[in-house]
Structures are given as C-alpha cells and as structure tokens.
Amino acid sequence: MRDVIVVGAGGGGPVVAKELAAKGLDVLLLEGGPRHADLDKEWTHYENDANNPLTGFLRFGPADRAKPAWYRETPQNSFLWQLSGVGGTTQHYFGNCPRAYPGSFAGYAGADRNAYDVAHPFPFSYEEFVPYYEWVEATLPVQTAAMGTKEEVFFRGCENLGLPVQTGKTTTRNSFRPQENAILQPGGFAGKVAGNDRELRLAYPQSTGCTLCGYCIIGCSHPVKAPRNQIAKRSTDNSYVPMALTADRWSPGGKRVELRTDAFVTQVHTEQRNGKTTATGVTWRVGATGEKHREDAKVVVLAGGCTENPRLWLNSGLPNPNDWVGRGYTDHHFDWVFGTFDEYTGSSKGTGSSARSDWPGRGGVMNVGIPPALLSFTMAMSDSGIRGAYANGRGPTGTWDGPAGRVLGNELKDVMTHGIDRMFAMLIMTDDDVEAQNRTSLSALPADEHGSIAKLEMHQRNRSARTVANREFLVHRAVEIARAAGAAKVYRMDWAPIILHVQSSMRMGHSETNSVLDENGAARWVDGLYIADNSALPNSVSGANPTLSMQALSTRTAEKIFTSRFGGDPWVGREAPVVSTDPRVGA
C-alpha cells in the first residue's frame, strides 16, 4: 500500500508529490498523457505540430499521437484549452505568477472589501497564505520578467493614463507593472544572437534561461541541450516533476516519486470505515494496452483539473449531498482587445506576456504576444458575429458603444497588412463570480474508454451583474491603454469562451452548503481524499492568473496531509527551500 496516490501531473499534482516525497512519503503520481522526455527531438516550433487540438504534441489525449484525442462536450462556439501529459496545461502557460489580490481572502478589511466575490472568499486570510506564496516563489523560482518592445508599448499607455507603477508583490491599488513570472532570466548569449545560431551560442551552457524566442504557448524547450531543470519556462515538467523524481538526492530523508504516464484513472475506490466513506485507492487504465491496474493508498489526491475531477468523482459514484461537485466553475470571462500601430511593437517576440495592469475588485489586463496561427485563431472567436458586417443581436452589454466581433474583409486585410509586429494585443481577465449554474457534469454523449465524458456548461451570456460589469470596465481600460500608447486603430473581440484559466469547480469554502472541500483541501464527504489543483480554489482568485495561487494552496494542502494523516512536523525542511534549478535536481 502506498502512502499517497496523486492523480494528474499538471499544474497542481506534482507540487503535492514533490512536497510529500521530500518529507519521506511513498508517492505514486499517475498521469493520463505522455511524458515528453527529449524536447530537442520531440518538440518543434511549428504551430500545427504543437497546437492542433486533435493531433498536436500539446493536446488533450493519450500518449500515442496516432490515437484520437479525448473529446469533451462543450458549449457551442467555445474552446476548452486543457492539455494532458506531464506538466499538464502548464506546458502551454506563459508562466505569469501574480499573487491574488488580498480582497479575495477571508478577513480582508480594505475600503474596497465589498468589490470582490464576497460570498466565496478563501476560507483563511491573505496573511496566513503569504508564506506558501513565498515558498512556491522560491522553489519555481518566480522572478521579475525579462521585457522587450511590446512591454515598452504597454507601459507607455499606462504611464500616459497616469497609472502608478507597482513594485511589491501584494497589490491593493489600480496600477501597472512588469509581470512576476516563472521564467528564468536570459543569461550568456540568450536574447543577444539570432535564432539560427541554435547549435552554438544559443545552446546551453553558452546561453541560459529565456532566449526570447516567442513560443511560450507551444511549449518551452530552450535553451537547446539544457538539462530539464534548466529549461527557461518553469512549467511543472521542468520544475516540480524533476524535483519529485529526485527527492532522495536533494532532501535529507526524501524518497523519489514513482511517476507512471499513459495511466488514466477511471475509479476512486472507497469503503465504509467507522461510519465514514473512506478513500482506499484507485484503478487506472494503461493507454497503450488497455490493461487495468489497481493500487491502494492511505491518502488519494485528485489533481486532474477543473473539468476532469468532477467527471472522475461522479463516475466513481462518490457522494455529492449538496450537489456542488462540478459547480461554481470560474473562467475569468475573458475578452480580447488589440490595436494596430504605425510603429514596430515586437508583438511576436519574447515571452508571451511580461507586463500587466491590475484593477483590484475588477481583475487584470495583460499584454499578450503569440505566434501568427494562434493570433488568427483568437481573431476568429467572437460572441458578437462579424465586426461591421453581421451583428447577431447579442453584442457586448453595458456601456460599450463601438463594434465588436470577428474581424473579416477589408478590416482583416488592413490588420494583416500592418503585420503581426505592428499589432498589440491585451487579454482581459475578469474577476468573475462563483455561480452554481456554471459547471461540469456528465454528458449524455457516448462514453469513452474511461467512462462517461465530461460536459461543460458555461453560461457565457448570462453571467452575474458584477461579472459583466467587471468585464466591461476592464475592456474600457484596455482600450484606453491602447489609445494612450498610440494605437492607430483599436478592436474589441467580445471573445467567445476560450476556456483556459479555470478555477473552483470543486471549491474549498467556509460553508458546507456551497463547497466540496473544507479549509484544509480535504473532501467533506470522503475521508482520506484531497484535491490539489485549480478546481480546489475557492473563487476566481480575483482575476489574477491562477497557477501560483493554486500551487501555494497545493503546498498548504500537502502540509495538512503530512501533519494530519502522517503525524508529521510541519517545520521539517521548511528552513531551507531548495530551488528547482539546483544541480542535484537535473532529471
């Protein structure tokens, strides 16, 4: 019998696995997708090779790319952006690691305390949480982002609007700042020589950290020839997973985690013990052979993400007495604003985003640079028909009086003629409310080899008044930033749901009536079962990019498991954080 089985090796699972293995527990980490081991051979910078949702190396599907991707039922005109494989959706992520605004935590007493989702706060204070933030920030590590021309453009817009610059990590006022991100700063020749010099000066160790190649969204494999734990972007496949696999090397008394990939968990097993439904282990299916395996554990931790955890829970027949399993799904109700400029903006260069503006109580706006195919994709997704040609009668609500929608015809020609490096794009990240209607349930579509599939219900056109008002507020600010930076023309997409910041579908909370987890991340209705990924978050983390907050929460949950289930001392190992770039890690 294992001490702990963790289901899912994405953003959250490896954090729990690493923390508990460092303390000497026997941990099995199960991941449904592949582990990309040799990035120089397996990954390219071809967008279709990477991002094709059916066949790309970054997709949601089994390890064998010749086999079909896993389908999920989603609302029409939306895209659920989740990845399988070691690193999970962090393989895609930009590494942005802002802390949530303190207003989304219990006990916040600022003057704007009623501006947040006050019905669904974190069930503890921001002050209690800060040491866990600091621990993750040290481990990844999180640093101030390397910046380029697109960030200069963003800062110019913010400065011209009179916004103050924010320098500390705790944000309580409207402001702008460089991102804090989990990307190693460029060193050596990185960022200084041309991209076709890969074999020589852009290879490790002549170059270290970010080479500013501009491909964060299709997986970071730079600098070439670097040991895995020295790859620039700290997605968990480059940070927490190598640490978990080598915990016996760098942690006194530590034990290395066993990782099994192509291992999709189909059942959480329980039995009645002392009158309580108690988790006893899991069964998984091996993708390559179809074989099923079962193992038992003292503790089971779910980290399959916001859409898959509810599915696994419901397929396993686990209790759901308050009907909150899968409910309260938040997604930052994104929108997308971009401008065309008569000057070079460097939009396709460098990290995905290295600048942001913060609007506590409302959410955030960040600059974004992405490669051309994804840019076209983003411009083709709107909830408002075709800009200037066909209004579908919906359109943005609130005070927006300009056109919105997909860009086509002469306007598209105009945009494309300007070119990607004279464009400038911003993502609107709304502090959206936890609403019971937004949820994951089981679909009536045919089951796949793992059981009934997940059905995602996001009510894009029927969000709470606060969510809608926040989104409109942030769109207006983004338009102002673009104009103040000198944009010749500004476009608003009124984005259809591009679902990639997902939170809170198995939320922790104060109240038994609207949460699945207690304040320790433990399932209320199943003993020995914990959740440690974005679905455990109590709310939309105030519109901040969620992964840092989730990883801090997963660190806290690991500590609760260690102390309450294994009689551990929470202070063991705390005095000396080991950074994931430590030479002893390296796997």
Pseudo-torsion of CA 34, 38, 39, 42, nearest 10°? Answer: -70
Token pair, residue 195, equals 């991209």
Can you tell me the distance from the alpha carbon of 531 to that of 458, in angstroms, rounded to the nearest whole number?
A: 22
**Contact between 39 and ligand SF4 per CB under 6 A:** no
Characterize 283-298 residue by residue with b for buried, 16 or more Cβ atoms within 10 angstroms of its Cβ, and e for exposed: ebbbbeeeeeeebebb
* Binder of residue 93, out of ligand SF4, ligand FAD, none (CB less than 5 to 8 A by kind): ligand FAD
Stretch that binds ligand SF4, among 208-216, 334-342, 363-371, 390-398 (CB under 6 A): 208-216
Taking CB under 6 A as the rule, which mask of x and - marks residues 436-475 in contact with ligand FAD? Answer: ----------------------------------------
Q: Would you list the DSSP string of 100-165?
A: PPGGGBTT--STTGGGS-TTS-BSS-HHHHHHHHHHHHHHTT-EEPP--HHHHHHHHHHHHTTPPB
Candidates 51, 539, 545, 581; binder of ligand FAD (CB under 6 A) is 545
Is the separation of the CB atoms in 90 and 11 below 8 Å? yes
Q: Of all residues in the chain, what percent are helix, strand and coil, respectively (each to 5)?
A: 25, 20, 55
Binding span for ligand FAD by CB under 6 A among 79-87, 123-131, 157-165, 463-471? 79-87
Selected range binding ligand SF4 among 131-139, 211-219, 249-257, 398-406, rule: CB under 6 A: 211-219
Tell me the backbone φ, ψ of residue 103, rounded to 5 degrees: -65, -15
Q: Which positions from 324 to 363 touch ligand SF4 by CB under 6 A, shown as an x/- string?
A: --------------------------xx------------
Q: Decide if residue 140 touches ligand SF4 (CB under 6 A).
A: no
556 touches ligand SF4 by CB under 6 A: no
d(CA 138, CA 579): 6
Interacting positions 144-203 with ligand SF4 (CB under 6 A): 183
For the chain, the maximum distance between any two Cα atoms, rounded to a whole number of angstroms, is 71
213 touches ligand SF4 (CB under 6 A): yes
Given a contact cutoff of 8 angstroms between Cβ atoms, the answer to whether 332 and 540 are in contact is yes
Q: List the x/- string, 95-124, binding to ligand SF4 by CB under 6 A.
A: ------------------------------
For ligand SF4, the closer CB: 216 or 493 = 216
Tokens 């500004």 -> residue: 490
Which window, 25-33, 206-214, 474-482, 516-524, contacts ligand SF4 (CB under 6 A)?
Answer: 206-214
8 binds, among ligand FAD, ligand SF4, none (CB under 5 to 8 A by kind): ligand FAD
Instruction: Tell me if 360 sits within 8 A of 36, measured CB to CB.
Output: no
Cα separation, 537 vs 322, whole angstroms = 18
Partner from ligand FAD, ligand SF4, none binding residue 70, C-beta < 5-8 Å depending on class:
none
Q: How far apart are CA 215 and CA 200, in angstroms?
A: 20
Instruction: Extract the tokens encoding 337.
Output: 């604003």
Rounded to the nearest 10 degrees, the angle between the axes of helix 465-485 and helix 149-160 is 100
Tokens of 75: 């609302």
Strands (DSSP E) contained in 31-111 are 79-80
Task: Evaluate whether 348 touches 169 at the Cβ level (below 8 Å).
Answer: no
Q: Is 232 one of the binding residues for ligand SF4 (CB under 6 A)?
A: yes
Pick 211 or 514: Cβ nearer ligand SF4: 211
533 makes contact, choosing from ligand SF4, ligand FAD, none, with CB < 5 to 8 Å by partner type, with ligand FAD
Window 507-536: residues binding ligand FAD (CB under 6 A): 533-534
Residue 373 Cβ, how far from ligand SF4 at the closest point, in Å? 16
Q: Measured from the CB of residue 374, what is the shortest distance to ligand SF4 in angstroms? A: 13
Among 51, 74, 78, 84, binds ligand FAD (CB under 6 A): 84
| Helical ranges in 427-581 per DSSP H | 465-485, 547-566
Considering only 27-35, 273-281, 409-417, 475-483, which stretch makes contact with ligand FAD by CB under 6 A?
27-35
Residue 583: other Cβ atoms inside 10 A: 10
Residues at the site binding ligand FAD, with contacts judged by CB under 6 A: 7-12, 30-33, 81-82, 84-85, 88-90, 92-96, 217, 264-265, 303-305, 308, 312, 500-501, 533-534, 545-548
